[in-house]
């Protein structure tokens, strides 16, 4: 009888452990009294307010411009009043422009990219060591990581974002590259 009771206690203990290990974090957390509405649920440090994705990076200039943040891999289309109308993620090529201010120098409706991929809505704005840097969208919609052995300056984006850049960034429009 003692062996049967011991086996039952072990089985119940194991099942209790499994149940507690599979409880979602939001149910397992014990509520804590808080005097601040800004403290996160986990009680670790101060809560960070969510950053509005349309917030244009500081130090990116003024007026109508395209802002390209290298580290964030993100582009903003900014109107004359300094307000972003659109922002989106991009996939940079293996060669990037250095931070600074440029202007759209040329555009092409559709061409073959330096990686052999058919691209559209090409908006060129810089050159680095004979590699042209510009925004474009692959006609097949792909945004794959570039081959680091191929010198490519295309900053790829979705086709919808490529359409938006094409309409916004005509020849002469300012392009600001930030770190």
Tell me which residues of the chain have a pLDDT lower than 70.
1-49
pLDDT at 116: 86
Residue with tokens 């957390």: 29
Q: What is the pLDDT of residues 2-27, one digit of tens each?
A: 544 444 444 444 444 344 444 344 43
């Amino acid at each position: 009888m003692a062996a049967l009771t011991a086996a039952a206690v072990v089985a119940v203990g194991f099942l209790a452990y499994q149940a507690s290990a599979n409880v979602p974090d939001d149910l397992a957390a014990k509520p804590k009294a808080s005097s601040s509405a800004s403290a996160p649920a986990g009680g670790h440090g101060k809560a960070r307010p969510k950053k509005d994705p349309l917030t244009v990076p500081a130090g990116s200039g003024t007026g109508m411009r395209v802002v390209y943040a290298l580290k964030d891999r993100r582009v903003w289309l900014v109107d004359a009043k300094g307000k972003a109308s659109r922002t989106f993620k991009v996939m940079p090529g293996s060669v990037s422009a250095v931070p600074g201010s440029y202007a759209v120098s040329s555009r092409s409706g559709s061409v073959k990219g330096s990686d052999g991929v058919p691209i559209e809505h090409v908006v060129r704005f810089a050159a680095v060591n004979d590699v042209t840097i510009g925004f474009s969208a692959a006609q097949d919609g792909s945004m794959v990581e570039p081959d680091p052995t191929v010198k490519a300056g295309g900053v790829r984006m979705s086709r919808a974002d490529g359409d938006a850049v094409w309409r916004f960034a005509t020849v002469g429009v300012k392009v600001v590259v930030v770190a």
